[in-house]
Amino acid sequence: MTLVEGPCAVCGGTTFRPVYAATVEEDAADPTAFYSSSRSRAGHLAVVRCVGCDLVMTNPRDSDATLARTYAALEDRVYDSEDDNRTLTARDHLAFVERHARPGRLLDLGCATGTLVRVASESAWDATGLDASAWAVARARERCLRARFVHGLIQEAEFPPASFDVVTLWDTLEHTADPAAVLARARGWLRPEGWMFLNVPNWDSAIARLMGRHWALLLREHLWYFSPRTLGALLERCGFELVATRSNYVRFTLSTIAGRIGQYPGAAGRWVGALASRPVARRLRLRFPIGEMNVAARRIGR
């Protein structure tokens, strides 16, 4: 395992103030145990705040090579098991998209098992998905024969310039080593005046402030904790205008929630985690905010 230090993604600054100490030992043998909904352990590396612009980030973080290797090999069966809930969430996300953009050509970056692409394809969109996980892309192709799915990394993908009306990054940007580079590539694939939609952790959310160091989105795999202000600054730097934000509501069964809590160390985590296998926990579905924001942004300039 290799950890690396890096600059702020928004302003390039290299001076930081500590926010939360790491809950993961930096010499943990297997960083992949902390990634995805199927993680076996939960925790985070050191969280810091940029002195220059206030962006909150993980620093140090796992190296680019570790990230690429982890996401390429990822098989997130827990995520896949929640497809009914993911479908409802994807419909919410698509409704948000359609408040701003008419159906056309859509590219979903970090598409996972293709739920958003499938829902969009069923609603008059010409949809394409891209994901680094070969397993996820295979599952997506099984579930949606009418859409196109591409296996690969965002930084290595090739699409014709201005070939999409909409690009989406649901739960993706916060996992990338270089968000500005990702946004720049996405902008190149968008037509002039095209739209980008994202879902990211919101550091300024009421949930994040209330939960503090116990916020459920403080995870090793999350490299950036944006606020509307810091994300707006990054989008402007990359040739976008932030148009709208709203709170994101997640849907999980009680079984999934209990399983997530069980990923944390300690007797309480193990006790709650034991509820995950109860039949009633698999049936009970909850919808609630977790401290994320949906974002709509428009490409500006040439």
CATH number of the domain that residue 214 is part of:
3.40.50.150
Instruction: Say which range, 64-78, 202-216, 283-297, has the weakest mean pLDDT.
Output: 283-297
Residue 2: its pLDDT value, please? 84
Asked if 203 and 292 count as a contact pair (C-beta separation under 8 A), the reply is no
What residues form DSSP beta bridges with 199?
170, 294
Task: Kindly tell me if the per-residue pLDDT of 268 is higher than 70.
Answer: no
| pLDDT tens digits for range 128-185 | 999 999 999 999 999 998 899 999 999 999 999 999 999 999 999 999 999 999 999 9
Q: Which residue range is the domain that position 266 belongs to?
A: 3-299
User: What is the number of domains present in the chain?
Assistant: 1
Instruction: Say which range, 27-31, 43-47, 123-127, 211-215, has the weakest mean pLDDT.
Output: 27-31
What residues form DSSP beta bridges with 107?
128, 167
- Which of these, 63, 58, 9, lies nearest to 32 by C-alpha position? 63
Count CB atoms within 10 A of the CB of residue 40. 11
Residue 85: its pLDDT value, please? 85
Helical packing angle, 179-189 and 228-237, nearest 10°:
60
Residue 258: its pLDDT value, please? 61
Residue 82: its pLDDT value, please? 84
| pLDDT tens digits for range 42-53 | 899 999 999 999
Provide the pLDDT confidence category of residue 272 given band limits of 50, 70 and 90: very low
Report CA Rg, the chain.
18
- Which of these, 197, 204, 290, lies nearest to 235 by C-alpha position? 197
Average pLDDT, the chain: 91
* CA dist., res. 61 & res. 44, Å (int): 9
Provide the pLDDT confidence category of residue 267 given band limits of 50, 70 and 90: very low
How much is the average pLDDT of 204-219?
96
Residue 284: its pLDDT value, please? 67
* CA dist., res. 117 & res. 293, Å (int): 20
How long a stretch of residues is the chain?
Answer: 302
* CA dist., res. 159 & res. 161, Å (int): 6
Cα distances from 51 to residues 18, 48, 233, 255, in angstroms, run 10, 9, 15, 40
Provide the pLDDT confidence category of residue 20 given band limits of 50, 70 and 90: very high
| pLDDT tens digits for range 179-196 | 999 999 999 999 999 999
